[in-house]
Amino acid sequence: MSTPAHSYQGKTEEEDVVLGQLLQVVLDDIWWLIGTAAFIVLAAAGYCYVAKSVYSADADVRVEQSDNTSQALTQTQTGAMIGNSSDELPTDAEIEIIKSRGVVAPVVAQCKLNFSVSPMTIPVLGRTSSIDVVQSLEGVKLTMTALGNDRYSLATPGVPLLEGPCGEMAKDNGVSIDVTRLVAHPGTRFVAIRANDLDAIAAFQSGITVVEQGKSTGVIQISLENGDPARAAEIANALADSYLHQHIESKQADAEKMLAFLKSERTTATEG
Instruction: Choose the weakest-confidence range: 86-90, 144-148, 253-257.
Output: 86-90
Is the pTM above the cut of 0.75?
no
The backbone torsions φ and ψ at residue 237, rounded to the nearest 5 degrees and listed phi first, read -65, -35
Total Cβ atoms within 10 A of residue 143:
17
Per-residue exposure over 181-193, b if at least 16 CB sit within 10 Å of its own CB, e if not: ebebeeebbbebb
CB 89 within 8 A of CB 65: yes
Task: Please give the average per-residue pLDDT across 79-90, as a whole number.
Answer: 53
Q: What pLDDT, on a 0 to 100 scale, did the predictor assign at position 91?
A: 86
- The answer, yes or no, to whether residue 98 has pLDDT greater than 50, is yes
Provide the sign of the torsion angle of the four alpha carbons 152, 107, 229, 41, taken in this order. negative
| Pairing outcome for strands 55-62 and 169-172 | unpaired
Instruction: Choose the weakest-confidence range: 73-82, 117-126, 193-202.
Output: 73-82
Total Cβ atoms within 10 A of residue 232:
19
Strand partners, 242: none
CA nearest neighbour of 106 among 252, 249, 245, 247:
245
Instruction: Quote the CA–CA distance of 134 and 156 in Å, as a whole number.
Output: 13
Residue 157: pLDDT band (50, 70, 90) is: confident
pLDDT tens-digit profile of 175-221? 999 999 888 889 999 999 999 999 999 999 999 999 998 887 888 99
Per-residue exposure over 210-229, b if at least 16 CB sit within 10 Å of its own CB, e if not: bebeeeeebebbbbbebeee
Burial of residue 238 (CB within 10 Å: 0-12, 13-18, 19+) is: middle
Mean pLDDT in the chain? 80
Q: What pLDDT, on a 0 to 100 scale, did the predictor assign at position 61?
A: 86
Residue 90: pLDDT band (50, 70, 90) is: confident
For the chain, the domains span 8-50, 59-78+88-111+200-271, 122-194
Instruction: Quote the CA–CA distance of 219 and 217 in Å, as a whole number.
Output: 5
pLDDT tens-digit profile of 216-255? 788 899 999 888 889 999 999 999 999 999 888 888 888 8
Q: What residues contact 106, with CB distance under 8 A and at least 6 apart? A: 242, 245
Task: Please give the average per-residue pLDDT across 150-165, as a whole number.
Answer: 91
- The answer, yes or no, to whether residue 65 has pLDDT greater than 80, is no
